[in-house]
A and B are shown apart, each in its own frame.
Chain A
Amino acid sequence: MPRTTKADLEAERLLWRAGFGPAPGEAKRLGRLGRRRAVEQLLAPKGRALGGRPARIDGGPLDPVNAYGHDVLWWLDRAARTRHPLAERMTLNWHDHFATSNEKVGDVKLMMRQYWLLRNYGLGSFRALTKRILRDGAMQMFLDLAGSEKGSPNENFARELFELFTLGVNNGYTERDIREAARALTGFTFDYDTKRFGFDPDRHDRGVKRVFGKRGRFTPEDIIDLAINHPKHAPYLCEKLWHYFTPLPVPPRTLKQMVSTYRRSGTEIRPVLRIILTHPSLYADLTSPHQVKPPVVYAAGMLRRTNTRIADESWIHLLDEMGQRPFHPPNVAGWDQDDAWLTPATISARFDAASMLVQKRVKDGSISASQSPQRAIAAARKATGDPQISKRTALAMQRYAVASVKGRTDDWEVKHYFPERQRVLRHVLLAGPDAQVC
């Protein structure tokens, strides 16, 4: 087995935190570049966005628009096959940040259009991204912006714009700011029959509004600018971005550096990510990881590690049980991250996902009694992308590899227990304690 270097460990960490885990050999390749160049490669991906074989259900391709649950599979499939890990991971992060659920929108085409918005503009300017989100059909329906009109403005979008998208809860705005901003955000329309979104100047409140102490005949885009120019915006967003990549607190000096970089660049996201992804905090405790993998990362990671394509609908249910279905966040605040991912029910679903994968790969009768415990462990490591494991896990696996087949010499025993040993070893590597964190 090739020796694992610190560079390999760093690359493996980077690929889990800034992507969906390494495909076989990917960590070694990235590790050779060194930290800085590896991060640059993630920040400016080139070439085909997807590799591998696309998902196939019942002999046909996914039909996310017309078949229930295929939207979830479509997202998971892209995560599992991505060759642009950071761009794809940021799409999931922005989906959490600008959380929009099809449970209210009821239109997968609109949801997918929002996916592409986040995917195509997620590494560029935050100001431009937020202005596109303002005009996004799924968002306009989710937060009742479409149909909000002069005289009876709906405050949902204005509230979440300040509270979640740009400033943070009660962070530098008042109820009155929300009410006045909502007036400025009136005029958007939607027609269910033609499915057309629009803006009707006659339904827009053209009066003078007062937001953050400034007065003017603000338009919807002006409100986005006011929020992003607010002094509390940059620290809020930079700290939120930081925590998508590490549960450790952000050092005050680093936060200052991110904020000034963000402002100087004109709200560019890439330079902030560069600071986060090259920071020593991201590579702390390489051999005792401390971030819980979000379910989509965990599931896509398993598919990547084992080179498996999605071939049945059970992933829809499994992701639901694990607590994260893309396109269906639980509420406007997105998903609760970190330790909140792990409950007895979600852990059991994480185990089930691994069981499903190993059951399909290793059949009874497929391994002979001549396989030594060491060969069994090596085979299991190879089949699961040779992940990092703790000494404790390595020892437990060794003990198990010997004890599980001891005295199993009858034909029927060999037929079952040798493959079973392989299944259990792979299961430990895919779903054991080491596999839940990164």
Chain B
Amino acid sequence: MPQFALPPQPPVPVSARPALSASATPLATPVARRRAVVRRPARMLVFASEYKLQPSRRVVPAGRVIIQTKNIGEDDHNLAVRAANGHVLKVTPVIRSGGLATLRLSLRPGRYWLVCTIPGHEAHGMVRAFIVKRPVPKVVKRVRKGT
């Protein structure tokens, strides 16, 4: 098959790209490659029941995190992420018995709280702390040329 060199193209804003058209394909590849380098979001799984929260981990690396909450109790619950200053960063809708809800957020290092904000539940014990830590930087050895 003959190889055609693509002329250099100016970056096209996403909104201007025609969806699913052939002309969008040459641009899509380098974008996908670049994304693969980005660290995948950290994951946490929380089980909620009467009246406790069971998170799958206590320490999460800073950056994007996906928190899934499964209600294994009989009553309704929800899950909020609260910062140390008391500010609620995100909260799921009410999760019915057996239901699953997902929160996506980006967190800086520090101490946070998982809470069920349904009245009375936090006081009954539905609150747990977790810590966000700066990810340990990978030691990259520099390859020096010519030495």
> Does B45 reach chain A (CB closer than 8 Å)?
yes
Interface residues of A (CB under 8 A from B): 58-60, 63, 65-68, 102-104, 106-109, 192
- B39-68 residues with Cβ-Cβ distance < 8 A to A are 40, 42-45, 47, 49, 52, 54, 56-57, 66, 68
Q: How far is the CA of A107 from the CA of B46 in the complex (A)?
A: 9
How many B residues face the partner with a CB closer than 8 A? 17
Interface residue from B45, B54, B72 paired with A66 (Cβ < 8 Å) = B45
**Docked-complex contact B54 and A68, CB < 8 angstroms:** no
Q: How far is the CA of A399 from the CA of B43 in the complex (A)?
A: 51
**Docked-complex contact A109 and B72, CB < 8 angstroms:** no
> Does B20 reach chain A (CB closer than 8 Å)?
no
Q: How far is the CA of A66 from the CA of B44 in the complex (A)?
A: 5
| Pairs across A and B, CB under 8 Å, 17 listed | A65-B45, A66-B43, A66-B44, A66-B45, A66-B56, A67-B66, A67-B68, A68-B68, A68-B70, A102-B47, A103-B72, A104-B72, A106-B49, A106-B54, A107-B56, A108-B45, A108-B56
> Does B36 reach chain A (CB closer than 8 Å)?
yes
Q: Give, as a whole number of angstroms, the nearest-CB distance from A216 to chain B.
A: 37
> Does B95 reach chain A (CB closer than 8 Å)?
no
**Docked-complex contact A59 and B36, CB < 8 angstroms:** yes
Contacts of B44 in A (CB 8 A): 66
Q: How far is the CA of A66 from the CA of B70 in the complex (A)?
A: 12
**Docked-complex contact A65 and B72, CB < 8 angstroms:** no
**Docked-complex contact A107 and B54, CB < 8 angstroms:** yes
Contacts of A108 in B (CB 8 A): 45, 56
Interface residue from B45, B47, B52, B72 paired with A67 (Cβ < 8 Å) = B45
Chain A residue nearest to B58 in the complex (CB)? A195
> Does B100 reach chain A (CB closer than 8 Å)?
yes
Contacts of B54 in A (CB 8 A): 106-107, 192
Q: How far is the CA of A327 from the CA of B59 in the complex (A)?
A: 25
**Docked-complex contact A109 and B36, CB < 8 angstroms:** no
Interface pairs A-B: 3 shortest CB-CB: A106-B47, A66-B43, A68-B68
Contacts of A59 in B (CB 8 A): 36, 40
Q: How far is the CA of A192 from the CA of B125 in the complex (A)?
A: 11
Q: How far is the CA of A429 from the CA of B44 in the complex (A)?
A: 40
Q: Give, as a whole number of angstroms, the nearest-CB distance from A210 to chain B.
A: 36
Contacts of A58 in B (CB 8 A): 40
Q: How far is the CA of A106 from the CA of B52 in the complex (A)?
A: 10
**Docked-complex contact B56 and A109, CB < 8 angstroms:** yes
**Docked-complex contact A60 and B40, CB < 8 angstroms:** yes
Name, among B36, B40, B43, B100, the residue most crowded by chain A CB atoms within 10 Å (CB to CB).
B43
Name, among A58, A59, A67, the residue most crowded by chain B CB atoms within 10 Å (CB to CB).
A67
Contacts of B66 in A (CB 8 A): 67
Contacts of A104 in B (CB 8 A): 72
Q: Give, as a whole number of angstroms, the nearest-CB distance from B52 to chain A.
A: 6
**Docked-complex contact A65 and B57, CB < 8 angstroms:** yes
Q: How far is the CA of A109 from the CA of B58 in the complex (A)?
A: 13
Contacts of A192 in B (CB 8 A): 52, 54
Contacts of A66 in B (CB 8 A): 42-45, 56-57
Q: Give, as a whole number of angstroms, the nearest-CB distance from B34 to chain A.
A: 14
Q: Give, as a whole number of angstroms, the nearest-CB distance from B97 to chain A.
A: 10
Q: How far is the CA of A59 from the CA of B49 in the complex (A)?
A: 32
Q: How far is the CA of A88 from the CA of B70 in the complex (A)?
A: 28
Q: How far is the CA of A65 from the CA of B43 in the complex (A)?
A: 9
Q: How far is the CA of A104 from the CA of B70 in the complex (A)?
A: 11
Q: Give, as a whole number of angstroms, the nearest-CB distance from B60 to chain A.
A: 9
Q: How far is the CA of A63 from the CA of B57 in the complex (A)?
A: 12
Contacts of A106 in B (CB 8 A): 47, 49, 54, 70, 72
Q: How far is the CA of A103 from the CA of B73 in the complex (A)?
A: 8
Given A103-B72, A108-B45, A108-B56, are A68 and B40 neighbors across the interface (CB < 8 Å)? no
Q: Give, as a whole number of angstroms, the nearest-CB distance from A187 to chain B.
A: 22
